[in-house]
Each structure stands twice: as structure tokens, then as C-alpha cells.
């Protein structure tokens, strides 16, 4: 049966969409998550599938190293509001097949009625050019660029340069980019029209080199400038103000909106600024957007708190040094709970765990600490050099169950997902 939403597609694409749905349903019945297979099959049958599915929708693409999934979820919530259909790749499948699958799902009569007019998609930074070419986005969000899985993504400066080329190729798109991150700002400046998000607090990015001329970048607080060509941090249009309680967001017209998020930490407050900026760009007032964000208390299991006999476990994801810096900031906002850290190095994590040496684990001194995961031994060596006392455990989830009170379990990609499944 062809759904109402697929009716606008040409016959071959309708056939491809129907085949993709059958394969996706079979994969889900077989216990696979089915988040990419439908899109892969549909694209094999019709190479223009992604472009056809995106046609006529208002498309928002979100890319960057950290915060893609959370920010995408926030923007989808802001644009849809409770109960409203917005197509989004909520399973975090952020390469072209996953995005195609999410748009196919939005056609399905079992998941909302007909074609959904708005699509908010997180995109792996290496695929932004390809996905933007197919979807003709209205808004492109650039969050940050830092080192992540070097053996997969390639050198971060090259990635940021390609993102700059991708936004330059779409002059009609409004780009919303982070001004405080040198590489992100360099990419955002390649766009015709950029709204800048900034934050008054410290950013510990990787880049000490100008993205335009390779000169040295000097910093004074959050400000940065190239000493050779004069490239400098753009002024923020949307600014996060954190010396109020709750934190507030200042809009380009000078108005302020209180952020009272259930999600913890500076990084999430910054993600929320992006969501307010995109919402305003597409007609949602900041106060309405902030109210819609208040109810968001977990994103695909991230920040979820699971109660158990004798206490509770909060799940956190940190998969690279910049992500860890955000989690360490978050931990410092509350009392020093026991922490279980789980590190794996499967393909999805990146095989190389040398990034552990770029994480400031010294900041965990004062927490009761347990090292777990398949690379617990490497983690333990790093913690020993950091001078942080810890013990080793075979099983991260079992270790949280053995610990009384509120515990944080912090995992990199597969360690986090294993724990989330075990705790469900």
C-alpha cells in the first residue's frame, strides 16, 4: 500500500519507498534497529531518493563534533511542540542512509499523517556537503569542531574546511554557527548569511591556528584573533548569559529569555541557545521555544536517571576530549558523586584510545572512581598518571549497582549504549 505521503513521489520512487518499508519492518522484527537499512535499499533503487523525500520540506541540518544529537532533539521539539510531527533522525543515524530512513519513516501512515513539512536532521560532519546538496536546507547549524575519532573522520581542520565549502555552496541557507570556536567560526564565515551564537564562558577548543591563513590565533578570554590576517571572533547575535539563575539567552533584538532546562550543564544550555536561534528563524518565539525545551529531560538515554535499590544511576555520554570537557564542567556543578567511567574501542568508538591522554581526568579527584569497559586497563594507566585513585570493575552497570546513592555512569559511544540497554 502506498501511503498518502508517498503519493507525491514518481512511480519508481514510490516502489523504492515501499520496498524500503518492507525491509525496515523486517529488520525491526528481526531485532535490528532498522535505522539505516530502509534508506540504503531505497537509495539503491532510486539514487535521487533523499532529494525527492526532502523536496518541499523545510529542512534544518545540524553538524559539529559534539552535541549534534541533543541539539537536533531540542530543535525538533522547538519546531514541533508536543504532539506535532517533525521528521528527525532521533536514533542518531546521521549519515545519508540514516537520514533517508528517517524521512521514509515520516511518510509512513503508522508514524504521523502524510508528509511531515519540517525535517530536522543531524549530519555527520563528513557528509554535510552531500546531504545539503540533496536536501537544499533552510538552516544549517554548526556547533563546534574538535578532535574526534581521528582514524575515521580525518584531520579536524580539513573537516572544518569542507564544512565551509558546503555552506558556501548553499547561499540561500541561513547558517547558525558558534563564534567562540575558531574552526567553527572559520566555516561559518564562508556562508552568505550567518547568525552567531556565543557564550561568555571558557572554551577549550583545539585550534591555535587561523583557519584562513594558518597564522597564530591568540585568545583573551572568549575573544580570539589571528595575529597575521586579523580574522577575529564575530560578535554574538544570540548569547548565553550564565551569571543569572536560571541562565538567560539574549536575542539579536536585545530581549532576554530565561532557560530553565531539565538537561544539566553548560553544554546543554549552549545547545539550547542554538535551538532558540533556529526556532526564531523559523517563526517560533524564544519564550515559546524555551517553554518547549523545559520538558526535555533525556536524549536517547543521555542524562537519563535510572532508579535502583539503594540509589540511582545517571547516564552520560563522552566520546572525545571536548565531550569530556563538557561532562567535567557538568560534574562540577553538583556534589561529587561516585563516577563509573566505561571506555570501549570498537569500530564505532574508534580503535585508538590515545585521546584518553587529552582528557583532564585530574578534575575527577575527589570523586569515588571506578574504571570499567573493554579498555579499563588503558583508562587505569591514564588515571594513575593523573594521580586519581580508582578501582577497576569488569562490568560498568554491575559496578553502579554495587554503589549506594547517586552515581554517574559515563561511557564512550558503545560503552554508553551497552549500559543504556542494560539499565532499561
Which of 212, 219, 368, 401 forms a contact with Zn ion (CB under 5 A)? Answer: 212
Binding string, 159-198, against Zn ion, x = CB under 5 A? ----------------------------------------
140/189 with CB nearer Zn ion: 189
Question: What dihedral do alpha carbons 384, 390, 395, 398 form, nearest 10°?
Answer: -170
- Min. distance of Cβ 211 from Zn ion in angstroms? 8
**Cell digits for 274?**
542554538
409 pairs with which residues across the strands? 315, 340
- Min. distance of Cβ 185 from Zn ion in angstroms? 12
209/422 with CB nearer Zn ion: 209
- Min. distance of Cβ 228 from Zn ion in angstroms? 5
**Interacting stretch for Zn ion, rule CB under 5 A, among 202-210, 294-302, 306-314, 381-389?**
202-210
172/220 with CB nearer Zn ion: 220
- Min. distance of Cβ 230 from Zn ion in angstroms? 7
**Cell digits for 33?**
534497529
| 107 is an interface residue for Zn ion by CB under 5 A | no
β-strands 139-142, 87-88 pairing? unpaired
With CB under 5 A as the rule, give the number of residues binding Zn ion: 8
6/210 with CB nearer Zn ion: 210
**Cell digits for 154?**
580525518
Which is nearest to 45 in space by CA: 71, 21, 68?
21
DSSP result, 49-77: HHHHHHTTSEEEEEESSSSHHHHHHHHHH
Is the separation of the CB atoms in 57 and 85 below 8 Å?
no
Which of 191, 210, 261, 263 forms a contact with Zn ion (CB under 5 A)? Answer: 210
Cα distance from N-terminal residue to C-terminal residue, the chain: 35
229/287 with CB nearer Zn ion: 229
**Residue 150 burial by CB count (10 A; 0-12/13-18/19+): exposed, middle or buried?**
middle
Q: Which residues contact 402 (CB under 8 A, 6 or more apart)?
A: none
- Min. distance of Cβ 215 from Zn ion in angstroms? 4
| 215 is an interface residue for Zn ion by CB under 5 A | yes
Residues 225-244 that bind Zn ion (CB under 5 A): 226, 228-229, 231
β-strands 118-122, 305-308 pairing? unpaired
- Min. distance of Cβ 226 from Zn ion in angstroms? 3
Interface positions with Zn ion (CB under 5 A): 210, 212-213, 215, 226, 228-229, 231
Amino acid at each position: 500500500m502506498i501511503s498518502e505521503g508517498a503519493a507525491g513521489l514518481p512511480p519508481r520512487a514510490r516502489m523504492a519507498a515501499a520496498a524500503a518499508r518492507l525491509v525496515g519492518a523486517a529488520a525491526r522484527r528481526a531485532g535490528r534497529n532498522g535505522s539505516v537499512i530502509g534508506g540504503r535499499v531505497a537509495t539503491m533503487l532510486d539514487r535521487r531518493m533523499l532529494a525527492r523525500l526532502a523536496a518541499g520540506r523545510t529542512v534544518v541540518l545540524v553538524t559539529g563534533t559534539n552535541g549534534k544529537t541533543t541539539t537536533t532533539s531540542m530543535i525538533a521539539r522547538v519546531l514541533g511542540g508536543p504532539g506535532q510531527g517533525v521528521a528527525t533522525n532521533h536514533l542518531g543515524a546521521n549519515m545519508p542512509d540514516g537520514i533517508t530512513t528517517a524521512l521514509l519513516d515520516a511518510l509512513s501512515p503508522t508514524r504521523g499523517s502524510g508528509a511531515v513539512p519540517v525535517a530536522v536532521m543531524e549530519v555527520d560532519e563528513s557528509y554535510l556537503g552531500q546531504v545539503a546538496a540533496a536536501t537544499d536546507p533552510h538552516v544549517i547549524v554548526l556547533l563546534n569542531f574538535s578532535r574526534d575519532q581521528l582514524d575515521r573522520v580525518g584531520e579536524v581542520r580539513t573537516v572544518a574546511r569542507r564544512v565551509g565549502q558546503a555552506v558556501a555552496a548553499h547561499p540561500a541557507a541561513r547558517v547558525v554557527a558558534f563564534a567562540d570556536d575558531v574552526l567553527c567560526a572559520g566555516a561559518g564565515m564562508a556562508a552568505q548569511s550567518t547568525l552567531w551564537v556565543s557564550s561568555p564562558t571558557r572554551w577549550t577548543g583545539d585550534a591555535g591556528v587561523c583557519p584562513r591563513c594558518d597564522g597564530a590565533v591568540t585568545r583573551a578570554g572568549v575573544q580570539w584573533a589571528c595575529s597575521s590576517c586579523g580574522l577575529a571572533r564575530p560578535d554574538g547575535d544570540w548569547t548565553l548569559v550564565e551569571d543569572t539563575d536560571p541562565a538567560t539567552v539574549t536575542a539579536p533584538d536585545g530581549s532576554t529569555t530565561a532557560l530553565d532546562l531539565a538537561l544539566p550543564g553548560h553544554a546543554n544550555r549552549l545547545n539550547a541557545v542554538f535551538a532558540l536561534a533556529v526556532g526564531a528563524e523559523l517563526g517560533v518565539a524564544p519564550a515559546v521555544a524555551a517553554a518547549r525545551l523545559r520538558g526535555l529531560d533525556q536524549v536517547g538515554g543521555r542524562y537519563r536517571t535510572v532508579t535502583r535499590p539503594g540509589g540511582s544511576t545517571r547516564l552520560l555520554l563522552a566520546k572525545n576530549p571536548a565531550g569530556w570537557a563538557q561532562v567535567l564542567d557538568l560534574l562540577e556543578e553538583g556534589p561529587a558523586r561516585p563516577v563509573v567511567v566505561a571506555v570501549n574501542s570498537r569500530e564505532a568508538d574508534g580503535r585508538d584510545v590515545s585521546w584518553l591522554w587529552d582528557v583532564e581526568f585530574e578534575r575527577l579527584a575527589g570523586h569515588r572512581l571506578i574504571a570499567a569497559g573493554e579498555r579499563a586497563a588503558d583508562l587505569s594507566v591514564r588515571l594513575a598518571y593523573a594521580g586519581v585513585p580508582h578501582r577497576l570493575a569488569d562490568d560498568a552497570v554491575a559496578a553502579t549497582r554495587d554503589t549506594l546513592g547517586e552515581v554517574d555512569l559515563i561511557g564512550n559511544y558503545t560503552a554508553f549504549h551497552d549500559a543504556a540497554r542494560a539499565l532499561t
